[in-house]
Chains A and B, each alone.
Chain A
Amino acid sequence: EAGVAQSPRYKIIEKRQSVAFWCNPISGHATLYWYQQILGQGPKLLIQFQNNGVVDDSQLPKDRFSAERLKGVDSTLKIQPAKLEDSAVYLCASSLVDTWWTGLNEQFFGPGTRLTVL
C-alpha cells in the first residue's frame, strides 16, 4: 500500500514570495491533515479536511495561508506571501474517518516538505 505522498521535499524561497505544497493521501482515506513543524517543536495542526470539507482550520493563519481539497482526494497548501517565521517542515497526514465501530483511526504521515524562507 502506498503511503502519503508529498512534494516538493524541499523548497527555498525569498520572503514575500508564494509557495505551494502538494499532498496525496493514502487511497480511501477521507480525512486529511496539514501540520506545521517548526524546528525544535512538535507538529501543530493547521487544517483538517474530511472529504472536501474543512473540519478545523482554527489555527490556520488565513491572511496568508490557504488550503484546498477540491475533489476530496489530494490537497494543496499555499502560503502567500511567505514570512521568515514560516520556515518549517509541513507535514501532511491522512486517516480513515473515525466512526463508533472503528474507534479512533491512526494518522499516517508523509515525509514532509521542508520550507526555508530567506
Chain B
Amino acid sequence: AQSVTQLGSHVSVSEGALVLLRCNYSSSVPPYLFWYVQYPNQGLQLLLKYTSAATLVKGINGFEAEFKKSETSFHLTKPSAHMSDAAEYFCAVGQGNLIFGKGTKLSVKP
C-alpha cells in the first residue's frame, strides 16, 4: 500500500522568505511522487513530478523538490515566496490511481 503524510496543515511565510512544505511517503515499490497546487475554486495543477530520474526535480513557478529515499521524503521548496503562491498544496504518490495527502495551505504575508 502507498500513502503520503503532509506535515503541517497550514504554513505561513513572509513574502520573499523560503517556502518549505513537507511530505513523507510510504511505498513498497519505487514511488512516483507529485506535487499539485490548488487555487480557490479551481482544479489541481501539477507543479512537478518524480519518476525515478533525477532526485532533484524542478517544477513550474520556481518550485523544486528533492527525493530522499533514506528519509522517505519529497519536500517542496521555493527560495523566495511570492504573494501569488498562496494556495493549497498537495503531495501525491502513485501511478494512475494517485494517493493524495491532506494538503498544506500556504499563506504569504506582505
- Please report A residues at the B interface, Cβ cutoff 8 Å: 4, 31, 40-45, 48, 55-56, 91, 93, 98, 103-104, 106-107, 109-112
B45 to A109, Cβ gap below 8 A? yes
A43–B101 alpha-carbon span in the complex (Å) = 8
Tell me the total A-B contact number using a CB cutoff of 8 A. Answer: 52
B interface residue numbers (CB < 8 A to A)? 9, 32, 36, 41-46, 49, 51, 90, 92, 95-98, 100-103
Residue of chain A at shortest CB distance from B97: A45
In the complex, residue of chain A having the shortest beta-carbon distance to the beta carbon of B91? A42
Judge whether B95 and A41 touch: CB under 8 Å: no
Q: Which residues of B contact A110 (CB under 8 A)?
A: 43
Query: Which residues of the partner chain A approach B36 to less than 8 Å between Cβ atoms?
Result: 109
Minimum CB–CB distance from A74 to chain B (whole Å) comes to: 16
Q: Which of B42, B51, B92, B97 contacts A42 (CB 8 A)?
A: B92
With beta carbons under 8 angstroms apart, the residue of B9, B42, B45, B98 that contacts A45 is B98
The main secondary structure of chain A at its interface with chain B is loop
Which one, B92, B96, B101, contacts A55 given CB within 8 A?
A: B96
Leading 3 A-B pairs by shortest Cβ distance: A42-B100, A109-B43, A109-B44
Nearest-neighbor residue (CB-CB) of B36 within chain A? A109
Residues from chain B with Cβ under 8 Å of A41 in the complex: 100, 102-103
Known A91-B43, A109-B45: A40·B102 in contact at CB below 8 Å: yes
Q: Is the CB of B90 within 8 A of A42?
A: yes
A44 closest partner in B (C-beta): B100
CB of B40, distance to nearest CB on chain A (Å) = 11
- A sample of 30 inter-chain contacts (CB < 8 A) reads A4-B43, A40-B9, A40-B102, A41-B100, A41-B102, A41-B103, A42-B92, A42-B102, A43-B90, A44-B100, A45-B98, A48-B96, A55-B96, A56-B96, A91-B43, A91-B44, A93-B43, A93-B44, A103-B51, A104-B49, A104-B95, A107-B46, A107-B98, A109-B36, A109-B44, A109-B45, A111-B41, A111-B43, A112-B42, A112-B43
